[in-house]
Amino acid sequence: MIYKRSSALFAEAEKVIPGGVNSPVRAFKGVGGTPIFVKEAKGAYLFDEDGNRLIDYINSWGPMILGHAFGPVVDAVVDKAKKGTSFGMPTEIETKIAELAVSMVPNIDKIRFVNSGTEACMSAIRLARGFTGKDKIIKFAGCYHGHSDSFLIQAGSGASTFGTPNSPGVTQGTAKDTLLANYNDIDNVKALIESNKNEIACIIIEPVAGNMGCIPPRQNFLESLRALCDEHNILLVFDEVMTGFRLAKGGAQELYGIDADIVCFGKVIGGGLPVGAFAARNEIMDYLAPVGPVYQAGTLSGNPLAMAAGLAMLNALDNDAEVFDRLAQKTAYLHKGISKALQENAVKNTINRVGSMISVHFDENPVFDFHTAAKGNNDTFKSFFHGMLNEGVYIAPSAFETWFITDALSYEDLDFTINAVNEVAKRL
Ligand SMILES: *Cc1c(COP(=O)(O)O)cnc(C)c1O
């Protein structure tokens, strides 16, 4: 394929935007080469500035679960835009989407809308700290909760020592309140709680991890976290920015039958516009301003275009009883096909899948936490990525990302993808 125009546009962008991109993973640093500039997209396909067609397995990192330029979302946004794009005053549509979200998701009474997943997670832990009167949080290595300071933390010398920042600009003062645990390791969490008695406000987790590839929670892991939280008066925060309205109507809470205390949303809930949200039962949500003392605000929060897109998206998902099964079936079909193609070409691999999230790891051992995810062969991934691109299939330009399956994919598209894997695997 030819990427002449994309390369030229990237060179222009680099002059005025740091690294030529507004979010780092878009820059292809993990795989080499220059990023592709999108011109437009429809359904399961991206069309780039050079006129190439690509089957899209990123789907804006999740939101386009029903495909690009999904009719009802586009119509809702266009219609709203003609009536004014922002007021900074209450609008009826905010209540409509809040009512719908509360009806779809178990265990929440109220929801507050923000502008990104980052904001949702940042606000959720402030609320957890305010509500419990405690300062520390536990997060898991390899889980991503946006780029606010508290979450950009790596382990120090041992998992039970204080975290150290992994970005300049994050202070030691902030880092000391974030404790790092290993995903799927309940003993590790217990030890952290023991050594920080009565200091932990919340445990935040991706109930299915999606930012180190797709990593399912082990049997009973989430149940055990729930029990530990109850025992120690700690809030359990589910970051469902990726899994919310994707794994089931009610997200991972519904899929695994676990009640979280605070739930964070993003991605699908905005239908492709900048939206995040966090939600909980009344007792916790009423701790937020203007009812309670914990401050949180936003000029563009609940923006009418964003709410219109989100409402159209949630309505479409709510009204389609089969959509989550259909997505899971397509993903299972892809899993089987890719697995067979790699096996036949003797490419070592592990494939993880939950619902419509799937990831291919180039290592034969089980992948269940950040450490095991990092063992995958990155050179193989790079060749795989560029090979797939050349075949007309776009997957995330990083070995640590999940593929997001969209309902716009047909079984022909899936077969096309499996054939592409087979072609690429011959040369790995
Ligand atoms: C994408 C993501 C975020 C951050 O959301 P943004 O909208 O990019 O700020 C937070 N948590 C999880 C689990 C995510 O996948």
**Cα of 62 from ligand 1 centre, angstroms:** 10
pLDDT > 90 fraction of the chain, expressed in percent and rounded: 91
Give ranges for CATH 3.40.640.10 in the chain. Answer: 71-318
**In this predicted model, what pLDDT tens digit does every residue of 255-288 receive, in sequence order?**
999 999 999 999 999 999 999 999 999 999 999 9
Half-sphere exposure of 59 (CA within 13 A, CB side): 27
Q: Whose CA is closest to atom 5 on ligand 1? A: 117
pLDDT grade for 294, boundaries at 50, 70 and 90: very high
User: Could you tell me if the CB of 6 is within 6 A of ligand 1?
Assistant: no
User: Could you tell me if the CB of 241 is within 6 A of ligand 1?
Assistant: yes
Give me the pLDDT at residue 172, please.
87
Give ranges for CATH 3.90.1150.10 in the chain. Answer: 4-69+322-427
What number does the ligand 1 atom closest to the CA of 146 have?
4
**In this predicted model, what pLDDT tens digit does every residue of 138-196 receive, in sequence order?**
999 999 999 999 998 764 444 334 556 778 888 888 989 999 999 999 999 999 999 99
Question: Average of pLDDT values for 327-353?
Answer: 98
**Cα of 118 from ligand 1 centre, angstroms:** 6
Give me the pLDDT at residue 160, please.
38
Residue 407 has pLDDT above 50, yes or no: yes
Question: Average of pLDDT values for 401-428?
Answer: 97
Q: Whose CA is closest to atom 15 on ligand 1? A: 242
Give me the pLDDT at residue 163, please.
54
Average pLDDT of the chain is 95
pLDDT > 70 fraction of the chain, expressed in percent and rounded: 97
Pairing between β-strand 178-181 and β-strand 136-140 as defined by DSSP bridges: parallel
- Classify domain 71-318 at the CATH topology level: Aspartate Aminotransferase; domain 2 (3.40.640)
- Classify domain 4-69+322-427 at the CATH topology level: Aspartate Aminotransferase, domain 1 (3.90.1150)
**Cα of 385 from ligand 1 centre, angstroms:** 23
Residue 326 has pLDDT above 80, yes or no: yes
Pocket test for ligand 1, best of 26, 208, 241 (most atoms within 8 A of CB): 241
Catalytic annotation, residues: 144, 239, 267
In angstroms and rounded to an integer, the radius of gyration of the C-alpha atoms of the chain is 21
pLDDT grade for 332, boundaries at 50, 70 and 90: very high
Give me the pLDDT at residue 159, please.
38
